[in-house]
Amino acid sequence: MKKFAIVIHGGSGAISDVALYQESLGRVIEEVSKLAKEGESALNLVTKAVVLLENDPLYNAGRGSVLNTEGFVECDASIMNGINIEAGAVAGVSGIKNPVLLARKVMEKSSHVMLIGKGAEGFALDNGIETESLEYFVTEARKKQLEQAKESDNITLDHNEVTEKKLGTVGAVAIDSDGNIAAATSTGGLVNKKFGRVGDSPIIGAGVYAENELCGVSATGYGEQFIRTTLAKHMAEWMRYHEGSAQAGAEEGINFLVKKVNGLGGVILVDSDYKIGVAHSTPMILAASKTWDTEMKLYC
C-alpha cells in the first residue's frame, strides 16, 4: 500500500446533530483514501475531498453555502501545492458549482494567484468550469438561517449557536506517497456577511497553506481573525523552527489565535512525517482523518 495521510474538516462550532456529519465525513475520507492507496497525488486528493464536501448541502461550501446580507451565495476557495508553493484562489464568486476547481484552474492556467467576482466567473466560463443557477446553491435551511441572523442583527459563523443549523466551511490537507503536501479550503463565508466581503479561506497564509518541508494547513472560523493573525503561515513557520509534532503545531495555531485576537475556529494540519494535527477553540470541530497505517478517525 502507498504511504499517505489525509485530514478533512467541515467547519467548527457548536454542533448538536453530529451523526449526520460523522456519516458524511466518514464517507468522504474513505472514498479519498481509496485513491490515496492507489498513489493519487496530494493535489488530486484534496481537490477530490473538497469537491465531495462542496457537493453536499450539509456544508457551508458550494451547494448549501450560507447567504450574504443580499440573500445570495458568494463563495471563496483556495488550493496550494506544497511542492513549489504554487497557489490558486477565487473570492466572491457566484454560480460556480465547485469553487475549488476554479481555484485550481487559476493556479494551473493563469499567471495569477487570485481572481475575484466577475473576472473569476468569466475565467471559469473561458476554461470550461461547470456553473449552476443561483437557485442551485440556496437551501431552505439557509434562507431561514439568514432571517434569524437578520432578526438578531448578527453576522455569524454558520455553525454558531445563534443559528438553528450548525454547518461549516470545508477543507482538506494531504500528503502522498512521494511526500508531496497539498491543502485546500472552500466556503460560503459568514451568515449575513456584507456583499463583497472576503474571508480567510482564499487568502494564502491565512485560511490555507502548504509547503512540502513543513506542513499543510486548512482553517475554519471567523475569517477576519485568521487574516489578522496569518494563522496558516504562522503554524507552518512554527513547524519550521520547532521539533514539535503535528498536533503541537495545530495547538500552537489555536493558542496564538486565542491569545492575539480571542479567536474562534479550528485548524487541521498534516506534516512531512505523515502525522496529523487537529485543534479548535470552538466547542467542537467536524473533522476526520486516515493514514496509510491507521484506521479512519473522527474528531467529532
Distance CA 164, CA 113 (A): 36
Total of chain residues touching ligand ASP, rule CB under 6 A: 17
- When the beta carbons of 190 and 210 are compared against ligand ASP, the nearer one is 190
| Under 8 Å between Cβ of 215 and 244 | no
Segment contacting ligand ASP by CB under 6 A, of 25-33, 103-111, 133-141, 221-229 = 221-229
- When the beta carbons of 4 and 226 are compared against ligand ASP, the nearer one is 226
Member of 10, 92, 99, 168 binding ligand ASP (CB under 6 A): 168
Helix H or strand E segment including 260? helix 246-261
Phi and psi torsions of 164, nearest 5°: -75, -45
Member of 98, 145, 169, 282 binding ligand ASP (CB under 6 A): 169
- When the beta carbons of 35 and 184 are compared against ligand ASP, the nearer one is 184
By CB under 6 A, residue 201 contacts ligand ASP:
yes
By CB under 6 A, residue 157 contacts ligand ASP:
yes
Distance CA 192, CA 197 (A): 10
Q: Write the interaction track for ligand ASP spanning residues 223-252; mark x where CB under 6 A is met and - where it is not.
A: x-----------------------------
Q: Write the interaction track for ligand ASP spanning residues 49-88; mark x where CB under 6 A is met and - where it is not.
A: -----------x----------------------------
Residue 41 beta carbon to ligand ASP: minimum distance, rounded to whole angstroms:
26
Query: Which residue do the cell numbers 473538497 mark?
Result: 50
169 is an active site residue: yes
Residue 12 beta carbon to ligand ASP: minimum distance, rounded to whole angstroms:
7
By CB under 6 A, residue 145 contacts ligand ASP:
no
Member of 5, 8, 10, 11 binding ligand ASP (CB under 6 A): 11
Distance CA 61, CA 78 (A): 12
Residue 118 beta carbon to ligand ASP: minimum distance, rounded to whole angstroms:
20
Member of 94, 160, 180, 187 binding ligand ASP (CB under 6 A): 187
Q: 156, 169, 230, 291: which one is catalytic?
A: 169
- When the beta carbons of 220 and 272 are compared against ligand ASP, the nearer one is 220
Residue 248 beta carbon to ligand ASP: minimum distance, rounded to whole angstroms:
23
Member of 64, 82, 99, 199 binding ligand ASP (CB under 6 A): 199
- When the beta carbons of 47 and 220 are compared against ligand ASP, the nearer one is 220
DSSP the chain: ----EEEEEEEEE--S-HHHHHHHHHHHHHHHHHHHHTT--HHHHHHHHHHHHHHSTTSSSSTTPPP-TTSS--EEEEEEETTTTEEEEEEEE-SBS-HHHHHHHHHHHSS-SEEEHHHHHHHHHHTT--B--HHHH--HHHHHHHHHHHHTT--B-TT-TTSS-----EEEEEE-TTS-EEEEEEE--SBTPPTT---STTSBTTTEEEETTTEEEEEEE-HHHHHHTTHHHHHHHHHHH----HHHHHHHHHHHHHHHH---EEEEEEETTS-EEEEESSSEEEEEEEETTEEEEE--
Catalytic residues: 169
Q: Interface with ligand ASP by CB under 6 A: which residues?
A: 11, 60, 157-158, 168-169, 187, 189-190, 199-201, 207, 220-223
